[in-house]
Amino acid sequence: MQLTDPSSSSTPSSTRSWIVHGLAAGVAAAVAFGAQAYLFSRRSAKFRSRVIGIIPARFASSRFQGKPLVHILGKPMIQRTWERAKMATLLDHVVVATDDDNIAACCDGFGAEVVMTSESCRNGTERCNEALQKLGKKYDVVVNIQGDEPLIEPEIIDGIVKALAAPDAVFSTAVTSLKPEDACDPNRVKCVVDNRGYAIYFSRGLIPFNKSGKVNPRFPYLLHLGIQSYDAKFLKIYPELPPTPLQMEEDLEQLKVLENGYKMKVIKVDHESHGVDVPEDVDKIEHYMRQRNLC
């Protein structure tokens, strides 16, 4: 029986195989470690999400033609909204998305960046999506800031951006306390949420609705505010999703999100809504601003 010398003959090939195994294990460990670190940083939001605020502003309107340009205490409404948006700390960039040259020129005048979009956009969300596609840079989160809420608090914008960090939420929005006198107003949209702050439903009818059918003065009903923020990948597909039955019956676009099974995070804020929908609202808001020394 020939005894082979273990050290000399086994060394070259088994050493090689050990080296190969060692390298493979090392690479696998490095990849695993790297992946964990990446996921951790994304989850922990230390990952820098790129956030853009878009103010859709169209000229045409059934109730108030040229609304973005109306002067509120001497300054165009679109400028007031833009200045407030610029104060939000979590927006990397703010643009106005419009379909009208007058609005574009006005915005250039006070230093706002403008993206021109089609007149055919059916709503603010589509306009935001079109603007997003046109912008060169990549963004992770898009905030749709209503141009007709010139007193929007920057903290609300920051709040809905933070809310979008919630797991599996592709959309976030805000609510505030509903005033009892608005309970039966179908123009005031009510909202109900679950115990982790995800939207359950939105309605023009009073929800929740108790057995008596009357407003309960002790229940904290919620009023939906128009500000919304989207995951950019979701925004790409959202306008193309076909309209859904509840969305069409209530005429509430956000219901399309829920009807398609997506999750929506809702934050509660203290905000007195001062939307400007019709010319009469201008006097109301100027009156409010003078009373509070806002200029």
Binding region for its own copies (CB under 8 A): 2, 4, 6, 8-10, 12-14, 17, 186-187, 192, 194-196, 198, 200-201, 203-213, 216, 219-220, 244-246, 249-251, 255, 258-261
Least separation in angstroms between residue 251's CB and its own copies is 6
Residue closer to its own copies, measured from CB, 74 or 242 = 242
Residue carrying structure tokens 């935001």: 128
Residue closer to its own copies, measured from CB, 74 or 261 = 261
Strand residues in the chain grouped as ranges (E)? 51-57, 71-72, 75-76, 93-98, 113-116, 141-144, 169-177, 190-193, 199-203, 222-231, 263-268
Least separation in angstroms between residue 110's CB and its own copies is 36
Least separation in angstroms between residue 27's CB and its own copies is 18
Residue closer to its own copies, measured from CB, 59 or 209 = 209
Residue carrying structure tokens 């209530």: 250
Residue closer to its own copies, measured from CB, 9 or 41 = 9
Least separation in angstroms between residue 98's CB and its own copies is 27
Size of the chain, expressed as the number of residues it contains:
295
Residue closer to its own copies, measured from CB, 106 or 189 = 189
For residues 238 and 104, what is the distance between their CA atoms, to the nearest angstrom? 26
Three-class secondary structure of residue 35 per DSSP: helix
Residue carrying structure tokens 């706002």: 112
CB under 8 Å to 186, separation ≥6 — which residues? 204, 205
Least separation in angstroms between residue 20's CB and its own copies is 11
